[in-house]
Structure 1
Amino acid sequence: MGGSGLIGAHVVDALRERGHTVTTVARTARAGVDHVLDVGSASVDELRPLLAGQDGVVYAARTDEQRPVRKPIYPVFRRDIVEPVARLFTAARHEGLTRGVIMGSYYTYFDRLHPQWRLAARHTYIRCRVEQAREGRAAAGPDLPVAVLELPFVFGRAGERLPNWAGPLDRWARSRTPLLVPAGGSAATSARSVAEVAVDALERARGADLPVADENLTWHDMMARIAEAVGRRRRVGRLPAGAARAALRGGGALQALGRRESGVNLTHLADLLLAELFVEPASGRSLDQALHETFTDMASTQDRVPPST
């Protein structure tokens, strides 16, 4: 499910390379999509025929956690993130599937690791990711183990499919605007690495939480490597923590005035940006190829490629 997106396309390739037969489902018709269905709204009865005769299922659809939504936002994010997974794995259980994978978020990893950060309480998106894993597994039942891949920044390309956040970073790196980033950083991985972890989880019928990372990068290092990938190697400066906090809190205040909010609450987003959101152990696999795939010649495609799903 979500087979037309960046990660879904790599999972399909990796499965076929290992000799598996794959059926793809996506909400938009395109080359390589076997069935067109909006999984976000599909009922259990609509899903069951697509799952009949399959051994496992991968859920790779995504939600934009930064899009502002009119309050109350929890019902919207729950409808988009939690409920489709619960229906999918209910259908999978009825059809006798024996393994599954959910493409999740590394925020759930940090919610477990640092309960004092209160991430699920502060951020609706993270709360719904926690509920997605819990309710998806509950719907699947004990005979259908479900692995949750906890994903950080994912670099790479599948044809013309790119990470949905790559466009703004590409334009920033190519612009004359100073590259100023806060302290802190993030784990990062490639779409190919995600696909290999997913296929391994399917083949071994793992039901674990699996944080995925190839490298842990400071924001400085990440932006410097993006600038190099687009051919504009230049200095990356430090944005003071106070400036980052003030800008994000100001954005949160403006959203509140319009009775809107993002899935990751801008008021508390600075706490995440200034932290080192590193996953240990990282695989150590270099991200150079995935970085260049993401940003090299991107200017020719970014205006006509829809966001990955």
Structure 2
Amino acid sequence: MRILVVGGTGLIGAHVVEVLGEHGHTATTVARSAGADHVLDIGSAEVEQLRPLLAGHDGVVYAARTDEQRPLRKPIHPAFRRDMVDPVVRLFTAARAEGLTRGVVMGSYYTYFDRLHPQWRLTDRHTYIRCRVEQAREGRAAAGPSLPVAVLELPFVFGRAGDRLPNWAGPLDGWARSRAPLAVPPGGTAATSARHVAEVAVAALERASGEDIPVADENLTWHDMISRIADAVGRGRRVRRLPAGAVRAAMRLTGVLQSLGGKESGLHPAHFAGLLLARLFVEPVSGRSLDAALRETFAETTRAR
């Protein structure tokens, strides 16, 4: 297969390129930064700009990054659509026109929980999650039945690709290395490695899957996750538990302050406390250990970032 990887120089995209090569496939990369085969801002590229890049390929992977936590001026839904939904619709419209037969979108495990717990009303409460659902639905509609699109529903992703790290790694690294106390909510999260995500993506391409695919290696409480990060940076120490009431109060205050400033983030703070306090665990997990990916993410070189 010949696969176009959008975001191919990023953490996940770089691993997808590597695994494609190991399986005997050819990858072409597109990214906004130098180092890609084609330098292009996918967020503003039109269908007619994308078609020549897609011509001659069998499939396409969308692995561009989205920042769900950055506060934006209200209303935020149009901005999130421009960032997350519209580029995917244009990409798969162009891919269908060029006769591609398979695709993968790197999504979020919040869409998994939206299906699993509709009573949580995640799409009503969080613009980011609403747009992830729209991204999958509208991207598939643009692709049509001849171009099945698998959506990988990703939790926390650990790992490294050169100097590329998860966007949350720097702050957690600094916190774990500091002398500040470590205190976390009582909930937890699923987690995986960039390498495993890439393997799942390539397998989905090879079988031309159109499924929703939750990806997880381990389910970790926040206590376990932060403890292991502290151990990885050589600053292992006690991790205390924050009372649920304190978490809810802090998130409500954050929401009020954002609102007073006319802003909002993709995960609404007033409702995000409920997600922090929940055990966002995915079943089944692969059972693969995350120890190696943790060490990669929080290696000594991370400190220089």
Fold in common (TM above 0.5): yes
Normalised-by-shorter TM-score class? over 0.9
Q: Name 1:21's counterpart in structure 2.
A: 26
Q: Name 1:280's counterpart in structure 2.
A: 283
Q: Deviations over 1:172-222 (max 9, x none)?
A: 101111100011100000000000000000000000000000000000000
Q: 2:225 aligns with which of 222, 226, 235?
A: 222
Q: Name 2:9's counterpart in structure 1.
A: 4
Q: Deviations over 1:102-158 (max 9, x none)?
A: 000000000000000000000000000000000000000000000000000000000
Q: Quickly say closer, same or farther: Cα 1:299–1:7, change in 2 above 3 A.
A: closer
Q: 1:296 and 1:122 mapped to 2: Cα distance?
A: 36
Q: 1:148 aligns with which of 148, 151, 169?
A: 151
CA RMSD of aligned residues (A): 0.6
Q: 2:258 aligns with which of 255, 258, 264?
A: 255
Q: 1:6 and 1:176 mapped to 2: Cα distance?
A: 29
Q: 1:229 and 1:215 mapped to 2: Cα distance?
A: 17
Equivalent residue of 1:207, what SS?
Answer: coil
Q: 2:136 aligns with which of 100, 124, 133?
A: 133
Give the Å deviation of 1:63.
1.0
Q: Name 1:172's counterpart in structure 2.
A: 175
Q: Name 2:241's counterpart in structure 1.
A: 238
Q: 1:299 and 1:162 mapped to 2: Cα distance?
A: 8
Q: 1:114 and 1:76 mapped to 2: Cα distance?
A: 26
Q: Which runs of 4+ in 1 moved over 6 A?
A: none
Q: Name 1:198's counterpart in structure 2.
A: 201
Equivalent residue of 1:23, what SS?
Answer: strand
Q: Name 1:305's counterpart in structure 2.
A: none
Query: Do residues 65 (structure 1) and 68 (structure 2) align?
Result: yes
2:8–2:17: 8 Å Cα contact kept in structure 1? yes
Q: Name 2:104's counterpart in structure 1.
A: 101
Give the Å deviation of 1:300.
4.1
1:160–1:301: 8 Å Cα contact kept in structure 2? no
Give the Å deviation of 1:299.
4.0
Q: 1:212 and 1:299 mapped to 2: Cα distance?
A: 25
Give the Å deviation of 1:296.
1.3
Q: Name 1:54's counterpart in structure 2.
A: 57
Q: 2:235 and 2:243 mapped to 1: Cα distance?
A: 24
Which ranges in structure 2 are unaligned for 5 or more consecutive residues?
1-5
Query: Do residues 210 (structure 1) and 213 (structure 2) align?
Result: yes
1:170–1:298: 8 Å Cα contact kept in structure 2? no
1:123–1:264: 8 Å Cα contact kept in structure 2? yes
Q: Name the aligned partner's letter for residue 92 of structure 1.
A: A
Q: 1:299 and 1:53 mapped to 2: Cα distance?
A: 39
Give the TM-score of the pair, scaled to structure 1: 0.96
Query: Do residues 82 (structure 1) and 85 (structure 2) align?
Result: yes
> Which structure is richer in relative contact order (CA contacts within 8 A, separation 6 or more)?
1
1:126–1:264: 8 Å Cα contact kept in structure 2? yes
Question: Paired residues, what number?
Answer: 300
Give the Å deviation of 1:298.
3.6
2:170–2:303: 8 Å Cα contact kept in structure 1? no
Q: Deviations over 1:48-103 (max 9, x none)?
A: 00000000000000110000000000000010000000000000000000000000
Q: 1:158 aligns with which of 143, 161, 179?
A: 161
Q: 1:242 and 1:139 mapped to 2: Cα distance?
A: 44
2:173–2:303: 8 Å Cα contact kept in structure 1? no
Give the TM-score of the pair, scaled to structure 2: 0.98
